């Protein structure tokens, strides 16, 4: 026979489940927040480092020949006015394209390292943390609700039977 669950047990199970879920959600949020802050900090540092490297490359002597040209079209104009020959124009265009490629390079992907992996693993663990207890408490709640519905159904059926008997006795004249 199934154990009858009292209203007090139901309320306690509901309260315990809500506390566990609330604590788990808060911890999950804190892990996500810590991970986001860490990634932001590391991404910023990575971006600064990449910018410094990029700036060092762009200011290297290799690109000094482009110092006289503010626009790509300036190279074409210099060639058109015979200031530079075709070989020099091709060399400057290649340098210009390389410099633009370097300028437009970005760091791809979200920063990830052992710390971010550990935080993710903690978050995954947290999703399963005490899940068996939550499921047991949910079962207690579900059983209580089912038992309450059964009792209400039985009470309704009993009341219907009583009303039917009363009407029968009344129609037979036994009850005024």
| Each residue's pLDDT tens digit, 2-13 | 677 777 888 888
Name the residue among 92, 43, 106, 33 with its Cα closest to residue 64: 92
pLDDT of residue 161: 93
Please determine, for residue 162, whether its predicted confidence score (pLDDT) is greater than 80.
yes
Please determine, for residue 160, whether its predicted confidence score (pLDDT) is greater than 70.
yes
Q: Between 64 and 3, name the one with better pLDDT.
A: 64
136-160 burial, b for 16+ CB within 10 Å, e for fewer? Answer: ebeebbebbeebeeeeeeeeeeeee
Say how far apart CA 163 and CA 151 lie, in whole Å: 18
């Amino acid at each position: 026979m199934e154990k009858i669950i009292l209203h007090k047990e139901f309320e306690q199970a509901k309260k315990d489940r809500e506390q566990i879920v609330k604590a788990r959600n808060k911890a999950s949020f804190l892990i996500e927040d810590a991970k986001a802050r860490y990634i932001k900090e590391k991404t910023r540092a990575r971006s600064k480092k990449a910018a410094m490297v990029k700036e060092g490359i762009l200011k290297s002597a290799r690109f000094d020949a482009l110092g006289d040209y503010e626009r790509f079209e300036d190279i074409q104009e210099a060639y058109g006015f015979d200031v530079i020959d075709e070989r020099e124009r091709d060399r400057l265009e290649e340098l210009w394209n390389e410099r633009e490629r370097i300028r437009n390079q970005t760091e791809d992907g979200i920063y990830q390292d052992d710390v971010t992996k550990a935080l993710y693993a903690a978050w995954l663990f947290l999703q399963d943390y005490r899940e068996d207890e939550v499921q047991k408490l949910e079962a207690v709640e579900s059983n209580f609700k089912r038992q309450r519905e059964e009792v209400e159904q039985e009470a309704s059926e009993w009341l219907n039977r009583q009303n039917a008997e009363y009407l029968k006795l009344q129609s037979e004249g036994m009850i005024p």
